[in-house]
Amino acid sequence: MLLKSLVYLKEELTTITESATLQEALDILEETGFRCVPILDESKQIFRGNIYKMHIYRHKANGGDLDLPVTHLLKNATKFISINTSFFKIFFSIKELPYITVLDENNHFYGILTHSTLLSMLSQSWSVKAGSYVLTILSPDKRGDLAAMTKIISKYTSIASCITLDIEKDGEERRTLITLPAGVDEKKLHTIIDHLERKHFNVKEIESLRLS
Protein backbone atom coordinates (compact mmCIF):
# COMPACT_ATOMS: atom_id res chain seq x y z
CA MET A 1 0.00 0.00 0.00
CA LEU A 2 1.11 3.59 -0.62
CA LEU A 3 1.56 4.58 3.04
CA LYS A 4 4.18 1.87 3.55
CA SER A 5 6.35 3.43 0.86
CA LEU A 6 6.39 6.75 2.77
CA VAL A 7 7.18 5.44 6.24
CA TYR A 8 10.65 5.44 7.83
CA LEU A 9 10.93 1.93 9.27
CA LYS A 10 11.77 1.19 12.89
CA GLU A 11 15.14 -0.28 11.93
CA GLU A 12 16.18 3.04 10.36
CA LEU A 13 15.23 5.19 13.36
CA THR A 14 16.77 6.44 16.57
CA THR A 15 14.50 5.42 19.46
CA ILE A 16 14.71 5.39 23.26
CA THR A 17 13.44 2.70 25.62
CA GLU A 18 11.22 3.62 28.52
CA SER A 19 13.90 2.67 31.06
CA ALA A 20 16.26 5.41 29.84
CA THR A 21 16.79 8.52 31.96
CA LEU A 22 16.14 12.08 30.87
CA GLN A 23 19.90 12.68 30.76
CA GLU A 24 20.40 9.67 28.46
CA ALA A 25 17.59 10.93 26.24
CA LEU A 26 19.12 14.41 26.14
CA ASP A 27 22.52 12.96 25.20
CA ILE A 28 20.94 11.07 22.30
CA LEU A 29 18.95 14.10 21.14
CA GLU A 30 22.06 16.30 21.26
CA GLU A 31 24.13 13.74 19.38
CA THR A 32 21.59 13.19 16.62
CA GLY A 33 20.29 16.76 16.39
CA PHE A 34 16.66 15.57 16.44
CA ARG A 35 14.05 17.68 18.24
CA CYS A 36 12.26 14.56 19.46
CA VAL A 37 12.40 10.75 19.19
CA PRO A 38 9.97 7.91 19.93
CA ILE A 39 9.92 6.13 23.31
CA LEU A 40 9.37 2.36 23.12
CA ASP A 41 8.96 -0.37 25.72
CA GLU A 42 11.87 -2.70 26.50
CA SER A 43 10.82 -5.10 23.73
CA LYS A 44 10.91 -2.20 21.26
CA GLN A 45 7.50 -3.28 20.05
CA ILE A 46 5.11 -0.97 21.93
CA PHE A 47 5.02 2.78 21.34
CA ARG A 48 4.85 4.77 24.58
CA GLY A 49 5.10 8.34 23.29
CA ASN A 50 7.67 10.93 22.25
CA ILE A 51 10.36 12.80 24.16
CA TYR A 52 11.18 16.37 23.11
CA LYS A 53 14.49 18.12 23.62
CA MET A 54 12.76 21.40 24.54
CA HIS A 55 10.82 19.74 27.36
CA ILE A 56 13.98 18.26 28.86
CA TYR A 57 15.73 21.64 28.73
CA ARG A 58 12.72 23.33 30.33
CA HIS A 59 12.70 20.68 33.05
CA LYS A 60 16.45 21.17 33.60
CA ALA A 61 16.14 24.97 33.70
CA ASN A 62 13.52 24.63 36.45
CA GLY A 63 15.91 22.55 38.55
CA GLY A 64 14.42 19.21 37.56
CA ASP A 65 16.19 15.90 38.11
CA LEU A 66 17.66 14.45 34.91
CA ASP A 67 17.97 11.01 36.51
CA LEU A 68 14.19 10.59 36.31
CA PRO A 69 12.92 8.08 33.72
CA VAL A 70 12.26 9.46 30.27
CA THR A 71 8.56 8.67 30.69
CA HIS A 72 8.38 11.54 33.21
CA LEU A 73 8.20 13.95 30.24
CA LEU A 74 6.50 11.60 27.79
CA LYS A 75 4.28 13.34 25.21
CA ASN A 76 1.98 12.32 22.33
CA ALA A 77 1.12 8.91 23.80
CA THR A 78 -2.12 8.78 21.78
CA LYS A 79 -0.69 10.32 18.63
CA PHE A 80 -0.35 7.39 16.25
CA ILE A 81 -1.95 5.90 13.15
CA SER A 82 -2.29 2.42 11.72
CA ILE A 83 -0.53 1.25 8.59
CA ASN A 84 -4.05 0.96 7.12
CA THR A 85 -5.13 4.50 8.05
CA SER A 86 -6.60 6.53 5.19
CA PHE A 87 -4.78 9.64 3.96
CA PHE A 88 -7.81 11.73 4.89
CA LYS A 89 -7.38 10.78 8.56
CA ILE A 90 -3.59 11.20 8.41
CA PHE A 91 -3.91 14.88 7.46
CA PHE A 92 -5.94 15.56 10.61
CA SER A 93 -3.71 13.39 12.81
CA ILE A 94 -0.29 14.81 11.98
CA LYS A 95 -1.17 18.53 12.25
CA GLU A 96 1.67 20.32 14.08
CA LEU A 97 3.67 17.18 14.85
CA PRO A 98 7.13 16.74 13.26
CA TYR A 99 6.11 13.13 12.61
CA ILE A 100 3.40 10.69 13.52
CA THR A 101 4.01 7.14 14.71
CA VAL A 102 2.76 4.30 12.52
CA LEU A 103 1.66 0.96 14.04
CA ASP A 104 1.40 -2.33 12.17
CA GLU A 105 -1.54 -4.73 12.06
CA ASN A 106 -0.60 -6.06 15.52
CA ASN A 107 -0.38 -2.54 17.01
CA HIS A 108 3.40 -2.84 17.19
CA PHE A 109 5.68 0.09 16.41
CA TYR A 110 6.27 0.03 12.64
CA GLY A 111 7.93 3.39 11.99
CA ILE A 112 7.13 7.07 11.51
CA LEU A 113 5.64 9.27 8.82
CA THR A 114 7.30 12.68 8.84
CA HIS A 115 5.63 15.98 8.10
CA SER A 116 8.20 16.72 5.38
CA THR A 117 7.59 13.38 3.63
CA LEU A 118 3.85 14.00 3.57
CA LEU A 119 4.36 17.51 2.14
CA SER A 120 6.73 16.11 -0.48
CA MET A 121 4.10 13.57 -1.53
CA LEU A 122 1.52 16.35 -1.83
CA SER A 123 3.87 18.51 -3.91
CA GLN A 124 4.38 15.61 -6.30
CA SER A 125 0.61 15.36 -6.76
CA TRP A 126 0.68 18.91 -8.15
CA SER A 127 2.84 17.64 -11.06
CA VAL A 128 5.07 20.70 -10.70
CA LYS A 129 7.94 19.24 -12.73
CA ALA A 130 5.68 17.92 -15.48
CA GLY A 131 3.33 20.92 -15.65
CA SER A 132 3.18 24.23 -17.49
CA TYR A 133 0.50 26.25 -15.66
CA VAL A 134 -1.72 25.86 -12.60
CA LEU A 135 -5.22 27.32 -12.90
CA THR A 136 -7.11 28.24 -9.74
CA ILE A 137 -10.76 28.04 -10.71
CA LEU A 138 -13.71 29.17 -8.59
CA SER A 139 -17.00 27.43 -9.28
CA PRO A 140 -20.50 27.71 -7.74
CA ASP A 141 -20.17 24.27 -6.06
CA LYS A 142 -22.98 22.79 -8.09
CA ARG A 143 -23.33 19.17 -9.09
CA GLY A 144 -21.41 18.47 -12.31
CA ASP A 145 -19.09 21.50 -12.08
CA LEU A 146 -15.90 19.44 -11.93
CA ALA A 147 -17.01 17.26 -14.83
CA ALA A 148 -17.84 20.36 -16.87
CA MET A 149 -14.46 21.99 -16.14
CA THR A 150 -12.45 18.93 -17.04
CA LYS A 151 -14.51 18.36 -20.18
CA ILE A 152 -13.71 21.89 -21.38
CA ILE A 153 -9.99 21.55 -20.68
CA SER A 154 -9.86 18.08 -22.24
CA LYS A 155 -10.97 19.60 -25.56
CA TYR A 156 -7.55 21.25 -25.78
CA THR A 157 -5.15 19.20 -23.66
CA SER A 158 -4.81 16.48 -21.06
CA ILE A 159 -4.81 17.30 -17.32
CA ALA A 160 -1.64 16.69 -15.30
CA SER A 161 -3.38 16.94 -11.92
CA CYS A 162 -6.56 18.18 -10.27
CA ILE A 163 -6.94 19.12 -6.61
CA THR A 164 -9.94 20.57 -4.79
CA LEU A 165 -8.56 22.54 -1.85
CA ASP A 166 -11.52 23.96 0.00
CA ILE A 167 -15.00 25.35 0.04
CA GLU A 168 -15.34 29.08 0.65
CA LYS A 169 -16.72 30.14 4.03
CA ASP A 170 -20.02 31.20 2.54
CA GLY A 171 -20.46 27.69 1.14
CA GLU A 172 -21.18 28.98 -2.35
CA GLU A 173 -17.82 28.61 -4.11
CA ARG A 174 -15.36 25.76 -4.52
CA ARG A 175 -11.67 26.26 -5.32
CA THR A 176 -10.18 23.77 -7.81
CA LEU A 177 -6.53 23.74 -8.87
CA ILE A 178 -5.84 22.16 -12.24
CA THR A 179 -2.29 21.65 -13.52
CA LEU A 180 -1.89 21.71 -17.28
CA PRO A 181 0.83 19.52 -18.86
CA ALA A 182 4.18 20.81 -20.10
CA GLY A 183 3.12 21.06 -23.75
CA VAL A 184 0.59 23.87 -23.22
CA ASP A 185 1.72 27.24 -24.63
CA GLU A 186 0.29 30.69 -23.86
CA LYS A 187 -2.06 30.66 -26.85
CA LYS A 188 -3.67 27.39 -25.80
CA LEU A 189 -3.71 28.57 -22.18
CA HIS A 190 -5.75 31.65 -23.01
CA THR A 191 -8.09 29.62 -25.23
CA ILE A 192 -8.81 27.31 -22.30
CA ILE A 193 -9.35 30.25 -19.92
CA ASP A 194 -11.71 32.01 -22.35
CA HIS A 195 -13.77 28.84 -22.75
CA LEU A 196 -13.96 28.29 -18.99
CA GLU A 197 -15.05 31.86 -18.33
CA ARG A 198 -17.69 31.72 -21.07
CA LYS A 199 -19.19 28.88 -19.06
CA HIS A 200 -19.12 31.10 -15.95
CA PHE A 201 -16.12 29.50 -14.27
CA ASN A 202 -13.95 32.16 -12.65
CA VAL A 203 -10.22 31.57 -13.33
CA LYS A 204 -9.01 33.40 -10.24
CA GLU A 205 -5.28 32.80 -10.61
CA ILE A 206 -2.79 31.53 -13.19
CA GLU A 207 0.60 30.32 -12.00
CA SER A 208 3.34 29.53 -14.48
CA LEU A 209 5.52 26.50 -13.70
CA ARG A 210 7.93 27.28 -16.52
CA LEU A 211 11.52 27.98 -15.54
CA SER A 212 12.51 31.60 -16.13
Domain locations along the chain: 2-121, 127-208
Kindly indicate the confidence band of residue 94, based on its pLDDT and cuts at 50, 70 and 90: confident
Q: How far apart are CA 7 and CA 49, in angstroms?
A: 17
pLDDT > 90: what percent of the chain?
Answer: 67
- pLDDT tens, residue by residue, 104-160: 999 999 999 998 888 877 776 666 667 899 999 998 878 899 999 999 999 999 999
Q: How far apart are CA 161 and CA 21, in angstroms?
A: 49
- Asked whether the domain spanning 127-208 has the same topology as the one spanning 2-121, the reply is no
The per-residue pLDDT for 129 is 67
CATH class of 127-208: alpha beta
The per-residue pLDDT for 170 is 53
The per-residue pLDDT for 95 is 80
- pLDDT tens, residue by residue, 165-202: 765 455 567 889 999 998 899 999 999 999 999 999 99
Could you write out the DSSP letters of every residue in 21-86?
A: BHHHHHHHHHHH--SEEEEE-TTS-SEEEEEEHHHHHHHHHTT--TTSBGGGG-B-TT-EEETT--
Q: Name the phi and psi angles at 180, rounded to 5.
A: -90, 145
Q: 2-121 has which fold?
A: CBS-domain (3.10.580)
- Of 32-36, 87-91, 107-111, the one with minimum mean pLDDT is 87-91
